[in-house]
Chain A
Amino acid sequence: MADFETPELFKNIHVPKVQPGAMASDGPFIAKPDHQEALGFPHELVDNWEQKAVEEMGNTLKKYRGLRVFLDSCVKCGACTDKCHYYLGSSDPKNMPVARQDLLRSVYRKYHTPAGKFLSKLGLEGLIGAKSMTKEVLDDWYNYYHQCSECRRCSVYCPYGIDTAEITMAARDIMAKVGQGQKYNNEIIGKVYKIGNNLGLPEPALADTLEGLEEDIEDETGVKVELPLDRKGCDILLVTPSADFFAEPHVDGLMGYAKVFHEAGVSWTLSSKASEAANFGMFIGSYENMRKISLRIREAAIDLGVKRIIFGECGHAWRVAYSFLNTLAGPFDFLDQNYPIPQHICEFTHDLIQKDKLKFDPSENDWMTLTFHDSCNVARASRMGDKPGGQFTIPRDIIKTVCNNYVDMAPETIGEGTYCCGGGGGLLTDDLMAVRVKGAMPRMTALTNVVKDDGVTHMAAICAICKSQFSKVLPYYDMGMDMIVSVHQLVSNALILTGQETDDEAEQAEPSTE
């Protein structure tokens, strides 16, 4: 799949004619033995993997009753078929959510349903679409379950609420447990265990990077804003994706959080142990790894003696934090119960805006016209604030406070119907570039429309994966990689720090040329 075509954009999101096998491939790189070992998985495909896979499926079914319901309840109504960005962008019918689910469902039917077991004895399992666990099936699983970003858009439109992401996660978990994990995800989780974050950024490099950012903020504003690391006794632990330390536009968002904390007058710190918000354990459907990754945050919070935990701009991290952190790593009875546990940085900033505690000059962002990309995991798997839909209104309220020019994309492409960026769920790797570029088609269509019709120049997001994915795929669609910005980058541009030199003052300070 090295060579691929970028989908053509139409005025409306185009539902393509099916092209069977359009995305057939060997799938992403397979995890190496050392990547597997760090996560407690077998080094390579085990000898009796067919049997082991069936057993693991049985274990998973016992653990997650939802999975059995999802596998049993599909009536093949077809409502999901045109809802997946990977189908829309690739035309491959196996990327229709129902068909992708059926790759696992057919094996489930043969080994884990009474009808399947009975009919298999008569050699008639084909009557109910049941299939044996074969190498061919495994290959299809590996390829197509890595063409799902677990974004759950299809679930919104399923009359039974079948959660395709749960099925993808189950399939990936089974594959890893029989020895065929994905390199990108598993290598990264190994780095979290060994070094503390997805990047493998060691503590001295992190400290050096943060020091550089402090210098940059001071150069720009004249105000000394700290980005503390491992400082004990602070009120707030900030847990943010390590991409915020490393990449653009992520780092501009991180500087925004620091400025907000500074202006709020709170004490805060980053942690070198929990120097990563992301939790790829969720992507690979591994409860054990998800829990182990989450526990670092608990340990860091206890070690540093903080009272609150705040998460930076990271989509799936917020899903794990909001929905699962308490059961994975709780109880958090040692934190201050007067604040949300955990809290999102957008909630924190929004709250200060409500209380009129921050001063902005939104004209600093006047050179841009913004739109906002709802990240899938925030939109469909979490909430912010104390009102339903807060995850949609809070980031938009922040942007509209700090920017004068804001336009939403088409309603069916945002909010709970938002389209995935195309790189979520553990697919943000170069070996899946064809999948990523094609999967971005619906979002690129909606974005192109507001660019043409409303003069939008930039798109803001609150997810590290979305930001990296867009900066990579935008050029494929003839848009600039720097069109994607962090929400807290916009906050940072407009925020007036106490004691900050404003442009006017700087001008006045210069000798008049008249």
Chain B
Amino acid sequence: MPLDVNGKSYETDEEGYLANLNDWNEDVAAALAAADDAELTESHWEVINFLREYYEEYQIAPAVRVLTKAIGKKLGKDKGNSKYLYELFPYGPAKQACKYAGLPKPTGCV
């Protein structure tokens, strides 16, 4: 199903993940979140931006521990844990945050 943002149509897969990484922009991210009835706050953006930076370097989303550690370093220890991330992304930081960041869904036994 395609995602329509600002008059442009973007290809997504069956689960609503963006088909092409390069299609992503902030409006697309907001629309992806809106499709799940979620709203992106500054706190969401901090995570999403880190995910995109990490992906650019490593071609994969960061492991949960890598993510919590990085967020903890950047934003303080009280935020460097999975509880905080699950509050932001109740469907799981790996999957939901990746979706809004325009990254492919992590696969495997996760």
B74 interfacial contact with A, CB 8 Å: no
A187 interfacial contact with B, CB 8 Å: yes
Using CB atoms and an 8 Å cutoff, list the residues of chain A in contact with chain B. 29, 184, 187-188, 191, 197-202, 204-205, 208-209, 212-213, 216, 241-243, 245-248, 250-251, 276, 278, 314, 428, 430-431, 464-465, 467-468, 472, 481
Determine whether the beta carbon of A243 is less than 8 Å from that of B60: no
Q: Mark B1-27, 1 if CB is under 8 A from A, else 0.
A: 000000000000011000000000000
Given the complex of chains A and B, what is the CA–CA distance between A251 and B66 in angstroms? 11
Determine whether the beta carbon of B107 is less than 8 Å from that of A200: yes
Determine whether the beta carbon of B60 is less than 8 Å from that of A188: no
Sorted nearest first, the 4 A-B pairs with minimum C-beta distance are A198-B108, A205-B58, A464-B109, A243-B109
Interface size class of B (residues with CB under 8 A): 20 to 34
Would A199 and B82 be within 8 Å (CB), given that A245-B63, A251-B65, A431-B14 are in contact?
no
Distance to closest chain B CB from A246 (angstroms) = 4
Determine whether the beta carbon of B107 is less than 8 Å from that of A29: no
30 CB < 8 A contacts A-B: A191-B107, A197-B108, A198-B108, A198-B109, A199-B106, A199-B107, A200-B107, A201-B60, A202-B60, A204-B57, A205-B62, A213-B65, A241-B108, A242-B108, A242-B109, A243-B108, A243-B110, A246-B63, A246-B108, A246-B110, A247-B109, A247-B110, A248-B64, A250-B109, A251-B63, A251-B64, A428-B109, A431-B14, A468-B110, A481-B86
Determine whether the beta carbon of B15 is less than 8 Å from that of A212: no
B-chain residues with CB within 8 Å of residue A468 when the two chains form the complex: 109-110
Docked complex: B28-43 residues within 8 A CB-CB of A: none
A-chain residues with CB within 8 Å of residue B63 when the two chains form the complex: 209, 245-247, 251
Given the complex of chains A and B, what is the CA–CA distance between A201 and B109 in angstroms? 13
Given the complex of chains A and B, what is the CA–CA distance between A209 and B67 in angstroms? 10
Given the complex of chains A and B, what is the CA–CA distance between A199 and B106 in angstroms? 6
Q: Mark B75-91, 1 if CB is under 8 A from A, else 0.
A: 00000001000100000
B94 interfacial contact with A, CB 8 Å: yes
B49 interfacial contact with A, CB 8 Å: no
